[in-house]
Amino acid sequence: MSATTYGWLVLAFPLAGMLIITFGWRALPGRLPGWIATSAIFVAFLASIGALIDLLDHPEEERQLVDSLWTYAATAGFNVDLAILVDPLAVFMCLVVTGVSFLIHLYSVAYMGSDRGYARYFAYLNYFVFSMLLLVLAANFVILIIGWAFVGAASYLLISYWYRRATAVYAGIKAFVINVIGDVGLVVAAFLILDNVGSLDFLPVFEQAGDTFSTNDGTLVAACLLLLVGAFAKSAQLPLHTWLPDAMEGPTPVSALIHAATMVTAGVYLIARTHPLFELAPTAADIGAIIGLATLLFAGTVALAVTDLKRVIAYSTISQIGYMIMGVSIAAYGAGLFHLMTHAFFKALLFMGAGSVIGAMAGIQDMDRMGGFRRAMPFTFITFTVGALALAGFPLFAGFFSKDEIIAFELNRGGGYSVLGILGYVGAFLTAFYSFRMVFRVFYGDPVPEAVELEDGHIAHGEPMNPMTGEPEDTDVGFPGPEHHVAEREWPMKAAMGTLAALAIVGGSLSVPGLTDVIEKFLEPTFEDSRFHDTAPTDGAEILGLVVGGALSILGIGLAWWVYLRQPGTATRLRERLPRLHGFLVNKWYFDELYDALFARPAATAGAFSRRVIETDFVQGTIVGGATGVVRVGTSFARAIQTGYLRAYALLLLLGVAGLTLYFLLNSS
């Protein structure tokens, strides 16, 4: 089979899994839907490996294969095919997406075991993975946009999966609305490209872009900025990031899926995929890099103060995606995508660990209520710590090699990019600190009652309540179900977490400076037209970057240890010393309030104005009221005649007949 056939199979299996569960869920007992969905993704993963092997058989310059099933839309002089592009970038993304998604499915089989919407959950999950695979395999902008929109819809369905919980529904709507802003940017960008280049297929567009546009051509910069709007909305970058922390309303494995394998990496993929355009529009690329940097610093500071365990991880995702966006924007494609992969490993792992802890806490997500889970859940403790070490960039763990490679690229390009690099190191320090803030607060310290109970072998079963508002609620579906027994008690969860922990440890070895260069070598055919080949740092510079990054990481972890273990209470004292700063961070730099004041409230005011003045006064009062008034006045005479007395009618009849008779008599002569 050729690589493209494997590509179609990669798409087919998740779709088939979704359809089987959707239409057959009544006939599927117990955990069967979960296993069907999991095996569908696993087969898709095998197909991705098949595509990889077949692609490696091709000579390097023939590794961009396009295959079309049929013509999707045909108009005069312009056709869109339902076509996939199988090239190293697409295969790389497929491997990451299907591989990590498979483990998340496996985890979900046990984690969602007590949920009443079990089959629905797995149908959504397969749909999500299918959408993401369609996005990364698309060979033209139309199919890309379709996959893009599917991903948005799937995220909406999964974020508001517990649809009886009002906050979850609002979070889903918020995610969907912000994603649609990005969709609009992407669609307009595709239109600009079609208008100027005359094609929407990736390969012809990239070939002709150089002839059509001069460097920094105004139209191209506009198109690239609009592409960035799309990328920022999906990847939760400033200023379109507000949906991602709220997306924590979904089940924890969904958070893992959104943050690690699918969805948020789409923006990084988009920039990498359209890199020939961004290289022709360096202004747009620089803006992307600066926003990536701003986002990573912003999210890093917020993660220092937020106490919701899942939200800390969410802000860490925003921050890490900032690194990736910065990387692919400055032409460090291999490094950015390498970080995407390692991040997928350790972020999925961290979410799974968090899910395990939340399960043990019977749904409570607040770190202030947690502590001392080290002995109660040794497996979760070890794997979570591995994930945190990888996230912090501790030497030899996965994040160590990938993150510092991006920064080394920036320092190597010099000039303003050095500033990006140095600030990137600040972000790395923050990352190390907040990663271990989580570890120390959740697993160390005095065991909370739930942890003690778990050590005795009992799992806490709390009252059903909303973890965001703390209000009791009757969600009927969802976690914490009355019979839930998560908290690392089941082997599928342990298997998924163990595999990811192993990957988070060894994943970095794929790209050790001076030793291995697997990722960049493999992605080479996609990025061979890059103009920035010579800006890649030398091995020596990369190793220096690694030393600095590793030192900062150890420093950050050490500081966290000092603040939370050595001198417990330091954090509280700091918070009391700097209440303004703490409030600023806890309220996420007041972004939600800003958007509320800028968009939500003016819209509500305009709505109230329309309701009061336009609807009530103008439409109801003037138009409708005026028409009825005219009719009422006009009919008052007719109503006066209708006395109801038979005699009066008879008289009128008689007078009428007499009048008519007189008329004809007078006219007849």
633 scored as a contact of other proteins (CB under 8 A): no
3-state class of 386 per DSSP? Answer: helix
Q: Please list the helix, strand and coil fractions of the chain in percent, rounded to the nearest 5, in that order.
A: 75, 5, 20
CA distances from 150 to 9, 180, 255, 353 (A): 19, 11, 17, 28
Among 419, 547, 651, 660, binds other proteins (CB under 8 A): 651
Closest Cα to residue 296, out of 207, 216, 403? Answer: 403
666 scored as a contact of other proteins (CB under 8 A): no
Among 456, 634, 645, 665, binds other proteins (CB under 8 A): 645
Task: Between 577 and 647, name the residue whose CB sits nearer to other proteins.
Answer: 647
Among 26, 577, 580, 639, binds other proteins (CB under 8 A): 639
Task: Between 70 and 637, name the residue whose CB sits nearer to other proteins.
Answer: 637
Handedness of CA 213, 215, 216, 221 (dihedral sign): positive
Shortest Å, Cβ 659 to other proteins: 14
70 scored as a contact of other proteins (CB under 8 A): no
The CA distance from 299 to 317, in Å, is 8
The CA distance from 31 to 22, in Å, is 14
Shortest Å, Cβ 606 to other proteins: 45
Among 27, 76, 633, 641, binds other proteins (CB under 8 A): 641
The CA distance from 224 to 327, in Å, is 16
For residue 618, what is the DSSP state? I
Task: Between 422 and 650, name the residue whose CB sits nearer to other proteins.
Answer: 650
Shortest Å, Cβ 640 to other proteins: 7
CA dihedral 333, 338, 340, 345 (to 10 degrees): 170
Among 633, 646, 665, 666, binds other proteins (CB under 8 A): 646
647 scored as a contact of other proteins (CB under 8 A): yes
Task: Between 27 and 638, name the residue whose CB sits nearer to other proteins.
Answer: 638
Burial class (CB in 10 A: 0-12, 13-18, 19+), 658: exposed
Q: Which two tokens stand for residue 556?
A: 């950050």
Is 532:331 a contact under the CB 8 Å cutoff? yes
Stretch that binds other proteins, among 232-240, 467-475, 563-571, 647-655 (CB under 8 A): 647-655
The CA distance from 558 to 429, in Å, is 11
Shortest Å, Cβ 666 to other proteins: 18
Q: Phi and psi dihedrals of 504, rounded to 5?
A: -65, -25
Residues whose CB falls within 8 Å of the CB of residue 326, separated by 6 or more in sequence, listed in order: 288, 289, 292, 293, 296, 336, 406, 410, 420, 424
Q: Which residue has the tokens 């009886």?
A: 164
Is 502:397 a contact under the CB 8 Å cutoff? no
CA angle 236, 224, 86 (to 5 degrees): 80
Among 654, 656, 661, 662, binds other proteins (CB under 8 A): 654
Shortest Å, Cβ 636 to other proteins: 9
643 scored as a contact of other proteins (CB under 8 A): yes
Stretch that binds other proteins, among 267-275, 483-491, 502-510, 637-645 (CB under 8 A): 637-645
Residues whose CB falls within 8 Å of the CB of residue 77, separated by 6 or more in sequence, listed in order: none
Task: Between 642 and 669, name the residue whose CB sits nearer to other proteins.
Answer: 642
* Residues in 473-502 at the binding interface with other proteins, rule: CB under 8 A: none
Here's the x/- map for other proteins, 546-585, by CB under 8 A: it reads as ----------------------------------------
Strands (DSSP E) found in 40-121: 65-75, 78-86
Closest Cα to residue 449, out of 385, 360, 365? Answer: 360
642 scored as a contact of other proteins (CB under 8 A): yes
Shortest Å, Cβ 178 to other proteins: 60
* Residues in 400-459 at the binding interface with other proteins, rule: CB under 8 A: none
631 scored as a contact of other proteins (CB under 8 A): no
For residue 600, what is the DSSP state? I
Task: Between 580 and 639, name the residue whose CB sits nearer to other proteins.
Answer: 639
Shortest Å, Cβ 180 to other proteins: 56
Residues whose CB falls within 8 Å of the CB of residue 619, separated by 6 or more in sequence, listed in order: none
Stretch that binds other proteins, among 30-38, 210-218, 558-566, 633-641 (CB under 8 A): 633-641
Task: Between 215 and 643, name the residue whose CB sits nearer to other proteins.
Answer: 643
Among 547, 650, 660, 662, binds other proteins (CB under 8 A): 650
Shortest Å, Cβ 644 to other proteins: 3
Shortest Å, Cβ 665 to other proteins: 14
Task: Between 616 and 661, name the residue whose CB sits nearer to other proteins.
Answer: 661
Among 27, 76, 633, 640, binds other proteins (CB under 8 A): 640
> How many alpha carbons lie under 13 Å from residue 207 in its C-beta half-sphere?
7
Q: How big is the site for other proteins, counted in residues (CB under 8 A)?
A: 13
Here's the x/- map for other proteins, 585-624, by CB under 8 A: it reads as ----------------------------------------
Point out which residues bind other proteins (CB under 8 A): 638-647, 650-651, 654
